[in-house]
Amino acid sequence: MLYFSKTRIIFVSIISLFFILFASSNFFKISNDLLNKKINLGLDLQGGSYLLLEIDNSPVIEQKLQNLTITIRNYFKDKNIKITNIKLTNQKISFLADKQFKQRVIDEFIDEKSDLNPYYPRFKSHQLEITDENNIFIVNFSKQGLIELKTSSQDQALEIVRRRIDEIGTNEPNILKRGNNRILVELPGLDDPMRIKSLLGKTANLTFRFVTNDNEDSFGAEKLKYEDSSEEAMVSKRIILSGDNLLDAQPRMNNETNETVVSFNLDRVGAKRFGKATSTGIGKQLAIVLDGKIISAPVIRDTIASGSGQISGGFTFQSATDLALLLRSGALPAPLNIIEERTVGPDLGQDSINAGMIALVIGFVLVIFFIFFKYKIFGLITNIALIINLFLLVGVLTIFEATLTLPGIAGIILTVGMAVDANVLIFERIKEELRNEKNNLIAFDSGYTKSKTAILDANITTLIAAMILFFMGSGPIKGFSLTLGVGIFTTLFSVYFIARLLTVLYVSKNKEKEGLI
């Protein structure tokens, strides 16, 4: 029968008030920490920056093949297999093998026990392809190997980008993969992307190397420019330690020189290497190299065994802060290039909010008038339930501090339409029941019961579509599917609890009245 117990009435009231209270925190300032939550506005509403980054994997491929060149040379040397003229050109390793060693070279790549086995194409873990042309062997990345490398590089870059942006404290950034070599970065509320672009554009590959005047350095040497001038210095290719050995980096003020520096702490391995290098290199210049440019090259005056040091280079506090941030977050596996950039100003975002709210208000008002005109008192009940439904939806989004986008507003508008649709189905079913049943209570109860299947079917299929959009879509699509999905649950609650409760209260007092609907 059409009946609500006192327990159910209290339950519905508490749930409704709970979510209405959270929804109101978006419009009023509440000092309570629990209730001090708000819906975040997306890039299209709040304004902000949109960056599409592309990973340049060429240096990574070159580096891995360079390492493999050394591995191949040493491997065949240990096996007493003579190979000559090994070189790396155009991302391919080539080497020459005498005819007598040709089959042994092939066997070493094929042999399951060989250390080179993972590089052979016939196995699942293959990364490289090897071809033989007139005793000249060519080794290069296979298609599968390139895909694996790009995927790994993208995953590492995504994590580093996220760390750098989180360090800045940007509100609700959206960082997503695009294909296998691109990363999408959306930064709501950020209308000046220059600092972010500067941070993301640096690989932050830090190395400590000795300055050398000896061109006969056994490790080789290269000319590098100083970051703040056109001067050059010959720097050994031997890396004393890298940024991987850093535990922490922070901007500091040097009290003696009154300049801003970046202080750093090394892990145990790094501290040991640094201490050994500084003890044997007293009097030499130690170049601190960042992304191929010398930041500074101080002269070593004494052994540094504490595992900590300072980087100086005429920094401002902002540049020192950014450098420390880059070093803490780690080096990117490959350079990032900005291939697309958009900035949405706050004025344009406000225009989007106004347009969305106008659409919501117009749609809502038209629905209210239509329902009231069509169903009179029950139309009024539906309208009250609709208003509470909106508060429930906003309350749920507020609790999870969801990000609202313009498509999300469209999802809210669609939710209003679906809520009306459910009530129309119920009232039309009640009309049919009243034709055959004179008892108003039985007719109304049957109307709610018999229309339930059709309403659930419609909402479940919509929920499935919303879930597919959420898990397979991104950005604005997720925003639309999120509000739509949450709206389905709040709609069913408002229809079968709030609207039905108000209907029960009215019908119970007018159960003998004819032509209720």
Which CATH number does the domain housing residue 291 bear?
A: 3.30.1360.200
Q: Model confidence at 117, in pLDDT bands (50, 70, 90)? A: very low
Q: Tokens at residue 150, please?
A: 């790009």
What CA–CA distance (Å, rounded) separates 147 from 157? 15
pLDDT at position 463: 93
User: Would you say 379 and 426 are in contact if contact means Cβ atoms under 8 Å apart?
Assistant: no
Q: Tokens at residue 94, please?
A: 């080539």
3-class DSSP state for residue 340?
strand
The answer on 497 and 384 residing in a single domain is yes
Close Cβ partners of 169 (under 8 Å, ≥ 6 residues apart): none
The answer on 480 and 443 residing in a single domain is yes
Residue that is last in its domain, among 120, 145, 170: 145
pLDDT at position 17: 92
User: For 7-81, where are the E strands, in sequence order?
Assistant: 40-41, 48-55
Looking at residue 84, its amino acid is T
Q: Tokens at residue 471, please?
A: 């898990």
Query: Percent of the chain, pLDDT > 90?
Result: 13
Domain presence at residue 317 = yes
Q: Tokens at residue 182, please?
A: 């691109």
With a cut of 90, say whether residue 486 has pLDDT above it. yes
Alpha-carbon 55 to chain mean position: 16
Q: Model confidence at 230, in pLDDT bands (50, 70, 90)? A: confident
CATH number for the domain harbouring residue 364? 1.20.1640.10
With a cut of 60, say whether residue 122 has pLDDT above it. no
Looking at residue 244, its amino acid is D
**DSSP per position, 284-338:** SBEEEEETTEEEE-PBP-S---SSEEEEEEEE-HHHHHHHHHHHHH---SS-EEE
The answer on 107 and 20 residing in a single domain is no
pLDDT at position 171: 66
Q: Each residue of 75-105: b (16+ CB within 10 Å) or e?
A: bbeeeebebeebebeeeebbbebeeebeebb
What is the domain extent for residue 474? 6-47+347-509
- Does the model's pTM come out above 0.75? no
Angle at 96 between CA 95 and CA 97, to 5 degrees: 125
The answer on 285 and 313 residing in a single domain is yes
Adjacency order of strands within the sheet including 246-254: 246-254, 259-266, 308-315
Backbone dihedral angles phi then psi of residue 307, each to the nearest 5 degrees: 80, 20
Element (H, E) at 169: none
With a cut of 70, say whether residue 214 has pLDDT above it. no
Domain presence at residue 164 = no
pLDDT at position 219: 73
What CA–CA distance (Å, rounded) separates 441 from 427? 13
Q: CA dist 471 to 398, 468, 479, Å?
A: 21, 5, 11
Average pLDDT value for the chain = 82
Domain presence at residue 85 = yes
pLDDT at position 221: 84
Q: For residue range 251-290, what is the model confidence (pLDDT) as tens digits?
A: 988 877 788 888 888 888 889 988 998 898 888 888 988 8
Q: Model confidence at 54, in pLDDT bands (50, 70, 90)? A: very high
With a cut of 60, say whether residue 128 has pLDDT above it. no
Looking at residue 28, its amino acid is F
Alpha-carbon 14 to chain mean position: 36
User: Would you say 183 and 363 are in contact if contact means Cβ atoms under 8 Å apart?
Assistant: no
pLDDT at position 121: 43
What are the residue ranges of helices labelled H in 171-267? 194-200
Q: Tokens at residue 58, please?
A: 């060429």
The answer on 495 and 404 residing in a single domain is yes
Beta bridge partners of 293: 290
**Residues, the chain, total?**
517
Domain presence at residue 1 = no
User: For 31-71, where are the E strands, in sequence order?
Assistant: 40-41, 48-55
The answer on 82 and 17 residing in a single domain is no
Highest mean pLDDT range out of 106-120, 144-158, 359-373, 457-471? Answer: 457-471
What CA–CA distance (Å, rounded) separates 517 from 514? 9
Count structural domains, the chain.
3
